[in-house]
Amino acid sequence: MELPRPLPAGVPGAQERGWSIPDAWLPHLLLWPALLALLFVFAYPLSYSLWLSLHAYNITRPPVFVGLNNYILIVQDMRVWESFGTSVYFAAVSLVIQLVIGFGIALLLHRVILFRGLIRTIIIIPLLLTPVVLSLNWRLMLNLDWGIINYFIRLLGFAPINFVNDARWAMASLVLVETWHHTSFVVLVISAGLASLPDEPFEAASIDGASAWQKIWYLTIPLLRPLLLVIILFRSYELVRVYDLVFALTSGGPGRLTETISFHIFSRLFQGLQVGYSSAISYFLFLACLFWSLLIIKVVGTKGAHE
């Protein structure tokens, strides 16, 4: 049997730990260049945008330091709060619908035995598509004059609906496309959670005469609660800052009915050329998302500690 090579002398505990100095430094040599690259990629834009948020800068003249004046203007700017309220409303409605539909599909999929892998592959297809591409395709399908959806509406004898440009249907169209796109994420995550649940509580509930709805309400949902909170964390964060879907489907219209906070930042920056103020609104959005994320993490952590 080949004996292990002697380790460098003078290293305390080297023989007991079984590693040498080059082996100890190898992970750092491989990891730190990537970390420094990520730090440069993220730190410079964040620091520069923070610097811009403290200045009055609209490209037409040099930046002028104004301190926290941009953030004070946000408090007084009703258009910012209206767009933020639109984002929260869109996120809340979309999230509830996606959770309900995704949970139902995951429960049905959990009972399927034949072709389960094929069905999961079909379900995940919308998640693989680029948001702008699928939004433009949905815009074509929802077109008033020659969209495929209005074609079938006419076949049924009803008047066509101007989904994108009608104030009654624009937000519903955004929610529809967003639900079609990301419900598969909820389905996949909940399906993985259902597969990991123990069988003993459900068998005991069946012996006690519990119905299917009772087992779902009193067993499945409580056992999946930490996973559901994680889904809420990821999806709500993405929904509040949605931009590409709004840009490609409604462009914030009609009027400003579907103008989300991210689209409002885009308008201030590229149309109003208010670089400093739009940067301040971006940090306002960042702080709001950070607060919500920490709140959800606190809820998940508290629940995990109790369990």
The answer to whether position 177 is within a domain reads yes
**Looking at residue 304, what is its pLDDT?**
52
The answer to whether position 62 is within a domain reads no
pLDDT, averaged per 10 consecutive residues of the chain (307 residues), comes to 50 49 75 86 87 88 89 93 95 95 92 82 88 91 92 92 91 95 93 90 88 90 89 91 92 90 92 90 93 84 56
- Cα–chain-centroid distance for residue 304? 23
What is the domain-level CATH number for residue 266? 1.10.3720.10
Structural domains of the chain, count: 1
The answer to whether position 13 is within a domain reads no
**Looking at residue 152, what is its pLDDT?**
94
Backbone angles phi, psi at 55, to 5 degrees: -130, 150
The answer to whether position 195 is within a domain reads yes
SS3 64: strand
The answer to whether position 56 is within a domain reads no
**Looking at residue 162, what is its pLDDT?**
92
Q: H or E segment at 65?
A: strand 64-65
Residues 6 or more apart from 124 whose CB is under 8 A from it? 184, 188
The answer to whether position 163 is within a domain reads yes
**Residue of 258, 265, 291 lying closest to 70 (CA atoms):** 265
Q: Assign residue 179 a region (left: φ > 0; alpha: ψ between -120 and 50; beta: otherwise).
A: alpha
**Looking at residue 1, what is its pLDDT?**
47
**Looking at residue 110, what is its pLDDT?**
87
Amino acid at the residue 63: P
**Residue of 281, 250, 261 lying closest to 84 (CA atoms):** 261
Domain span at residue 74?
70-306
Amino acid at the residue 84: F
Cα separation, 269 vs 154, in Å, equals 41
pTM for the structure as a whole? 0.84
